[in-house]
């Protein structure tokens, strides 16, 4: 039985509606379709839900502190009523943004689901997901590692003045085997959009820093690799070969 007391408690989040998100998979790559369903369970009283929202939450470092950032916000439903003890299932799907960074231990990625209920504390659900690099990025990282580099650090760092994301993801490599003595560190930065993948390379060698960049078209990554150290009208051979030539020049 609904009472004024129960309604007051529901407005504080006690005995109100609850939300639970169920995903088809906990693992994704940028561009993948995320599918699942949101389960809404009515509480002790009926309530009006104005919206079901979902935040794609990432984290980055700013002044050595982890800062949360909403990379994308999705709206999953129209306004509806949820009766006391009622059970509703709302299916959803959306595309994982191409700019989604890779997740790792210190920089987790979450999907936060909430019910927008006026004059009440929004019930929420938090689901951690794994995000792997875009397929083209993943392939390049594999080629770099197999050519004699060891990735030892991955982090998202605050990027002041950025017009898109407030951070940049940095893949840091150390030399192994034949590259000892040629460089101290290799840093890679990727940017993926609807048209192409761009990679900036920073090579640290003592007090010197060498930079180069590459780009691929998304619809033809094998035949459209270009480098700022080659003919812009001719496809480059591979990032690894270009980096090797810079190290030995």
Domains in the chain, number: 2
Closest CA to 183 of 128, 134, 244: 244
Within this chain, do residues 18 and 101 fall inside the same structural domain, yes or no?
A: yes
CA-closest candidate to residue 183, choices 156, 153, 210, 165? 210
- Mean pLDDT within 176-194: 88
Residue carrying structure tokens 């408690």: 9
* pLDDT score recorded for residue 14: 40
Q: How many CB atoms lie within 10 A of CB 140?
A: 24
Give the pLDDT score at 227: 78
Q: What is the mean pLDDT of residues 83-107?
A: 96
Give the domain range for residue 55. 4-131
Closest CA to 190 of 164, 209, 208: 164
Provide the percentage of residues in the chain whose pLDDT is more than 90.
Answer: 63
Parallel, antiparallel or unpaired: strands 149-158 and 208-217? unpaired
Confidence of residue 140 (pLDDT cuts 50, 70, 90): very high
Does 7 have pLDDT greater than 80?
no
Q: Output the domain CATH number for residue 9.
A: 2.60.40.640
* Confidence check: pLDDT of 158 > 80: yes
> Do 111 and 31 reside in the same domain of the chain?
yes
* Whole-number average pLDDT of the chain: 87
Give the pLDDT score at 1. 47
Residues 115, 203, single domain; the answer is no
Tens digits of residue pLDDT in 20-32: 999 999 999 999 9
What residue ranges in the chain does DSSP mark as E strands? 18-23, 27-28, 33-41, 47-49, 51-62, 65-75, 80-82, 87-95, 109-116, 124-131, 149-158, 167-175, 185-192, 196-205, 208-217, 226-227
Query: Is there a single domain that holds both residue 126 and residue 60?
Result: yes
Q: What is the pLDDT of residues 99-108, one digit of tens each?
A: 999 999 999 9
């Amino acid at each position: 039985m609904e009472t004024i007391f129960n309604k007051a408690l529901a407005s504080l989040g006690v005995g109100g509606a609850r939300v639970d998100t169920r995903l088809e998979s906990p693992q994704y790559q940028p561009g993948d379709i995320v599918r699942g369903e949101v389960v809404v369970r009515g509480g002790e009283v009926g309530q009006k839900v104005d919206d079901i929202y979902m935040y794609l939450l990432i984290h980055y470092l700013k002044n050595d502190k982890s800062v949360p950032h909403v990379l994308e916000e999705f709206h999953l439903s129209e306004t509806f009523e949820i009766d006391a003890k009622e059970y509703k299932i709302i299916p959803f799907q959306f595309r994982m943004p191409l700019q989604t960074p890779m997740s790792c231990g210190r920089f987790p990625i979450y999907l936060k689901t909430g019910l927008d209920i006026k004059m009440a504390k929004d019930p929420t659900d938090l689901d951690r997901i794994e995000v792997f690099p875009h397929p083209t990025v993943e392939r390049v990282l594999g080629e770099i590692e197999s050519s004699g580099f060891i990735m030892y650090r991955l982090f998202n760092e605050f990027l002041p003045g950025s017009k898109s994301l407030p951070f940049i993801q940095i893949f840091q490599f150390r030399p192994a085997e034949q590259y000892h003595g040629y460089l101290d560190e290799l840093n890679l930065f990727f940017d993926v959009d609807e048209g192409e993948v761009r990679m900036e390379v920073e090579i640290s060698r003592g007090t010197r820093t060498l930079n180069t960049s590459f780009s691929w078209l998304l619809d033809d990554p094998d035949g459209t690799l270009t480098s700022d150290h080659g003919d812009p009208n001719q496809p480059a051979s591979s990032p690894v070969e270009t980096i090797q030539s810079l190290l030995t020049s």
